[in-house]
Amino acid sequence: MLPTIAREEDVVVMIDQRKLPAAEVYVRCKTAAEVARAIKTMVIRGAPAIGVAAAMGIALGMRKSTATGTQKFAAEFYKTCEMMAATRPTAVNLFWAIERMKQAFATAAKAGESVDQIKDRLDREAEAIHDEDVASCRAMGAFGAEVVPAEARILTHCNAGALATAGYGTALGVIRGAIEAGKRVAVFADETRPFLQGARLTAWELVRDGIETTVITDNMSGALMRQGKVDLVVVGADRIAANGDTANKIGTYGVAVLAREHQIPFYVAAPLSTIDLSTPDGSGIPIEERSAKEVTHVGGAQLAPEGALVWNPAFDVTPHHFIAGIITERGICRAPYGESLRRAVAGG
């Protein structure tokens, strides 16, 4: 399976997603601060992968702590959590993973564990978050396969694949699950301006798996749908509000509107760690704005003149009524999402 991120004794290793597909380079982070920087600069990206990276970064940082007393160790731990939380604001998986690490810490403190025992517990928790993410993706793949026709042309946006998770992927997990279930699937990958996750990352991992992939620029999906060449849309998510409104990579909303116009089912695939029941609807989801240079330049080449203003939101929100279903590791949630998401999160 594709190695998105792994923990070694004293480093967190991740494939550098900024360099793909031209080069397969691995970044070795030796400190929690290096992991935080890798998240911020998008060496690693994708909501679940960011959560896993934060957990591993916290465990790594605390493993390297020289504190001998639990009080100093606790102060360092909470500072490290804060640093991770300040990396990217939209993907709720980041905050979910930090919260899990805090809970593990609190359990250890309550049990009166030593600094060394807490370090071991944090390592185990980060590893569990990693392994559970792969298992969730595989479960999503199996559930999602049910909505894929025997022969399907699927459009996806951004990269919600193995690279965006600990492995297998959410939206691409559904595609992999459908293929494993014996279906014939061809994929259309939106290039996904400005960071080009679709053209660079989705196409790279699908081609590597031998899955037929056609890259289109973002402004081609309407014409493609109008020609009847798309049977299904499946995308990932960075944060799903309690009512089902879904934040995902900028451009997703436009794809959802086009899919509705052409009566093409539009599905979201995301683990329960992406569902944020504390945010009632999409208007409360913080949207990250990234540097103007991502828009004005491509691969170092200048496209737009100096002096031009730039708007560069990294995500948009698709209102719940455009979504045919939200595929999770506990099954497919349908409207009304207020009820179905709450039930899924509660374990029902």
Nearer to ligand MRU, 104 or 179 (CB): 179
Determine if 282 is a binding residue for ligand MRU (CB under 6 A).
no
Stretch that binds ligand MRU, among 138-146, 202-210, 232-240, 338-346 (CB under 6 A): 232-240
Tell me how far CA of residue 310 lies from CA of 176, 191, 288, 290, 296, in angstroms: 37, 20, 14, 10, 8
Q: Applying CB under 6 A, which of residues 14, 92, 160, 215 lies at the interface with ligand MRU?
A: 160
Which 3 state secondary structure label does DSSP give 270? coil
Determine if 199 is a binding residue for ligand MRU (CB under 6 A).
no
Q: Applying CB under 6 A, which of residues 87, 136, 165, 243 lies at the interface with ligand MRU?
A: 165
Q: By the 8 A CB rule, do 281 and 242 touch?
A: yes
Q: Which residues pair with 325 in a beta bridge?
A: 267
Determine if 51 is a binding residue for ligand MRU (CB under 6 A).
no
Stretch that binds ligand MRU, among 54-62, 94-102, 162-170, 334-342 (CB under 6 A): 162-170
Nearer to ligand MRU, 46 or 141 (CB): 46
Determine if 144 is a binding residue for ligand MRU (CB under 6 A).
no
User: In which region does residue 44 sit, left (phi positive, over 0), alpha (psi from -120 to 50) or beta (all else)?
Assistant: beta
Determine if 46 is a binding residue for ligand MRU (CB under 6 A).
yes
For residue 275, report the phi and psi dihedrals to the nearest 5 degrees. -90, 125
Judge whether 276 counts as a catalytic residue. no
- Cβ 248 to ligand MRU, closest distance in Å? 5
Determine if 45 is a binding residue for ligand MRU (CB under 6 A).
yes
Burial of 23: CB neighbours in 10 Å, binned 0-12, 13-18, 19+: exposed
Stretch that binds ligand MRU, among 28-36, 233-241, 255-263, 278-286 (CB under 6 A): 233-241
Quick one: which of 72, 55, 53 has its CA closest to 122? 55
Quote the crossing angle between the two packed helices 115-145 and 92-110, to the nearest 10°.
140
Determine if 314 is a binding residue for ligand MRU (CB under 6 A).
yes
Measured at the CA of 207, the angle between CA 223 and CA 162, to 5 degrees, comes to 100
- Residues with catalytic roles: 238
Interface ranges with ligand MRU (CB under 6 A): 45-48, 91, 158, 160, 164-165, 170, 197, 236-238, 248-249, 314
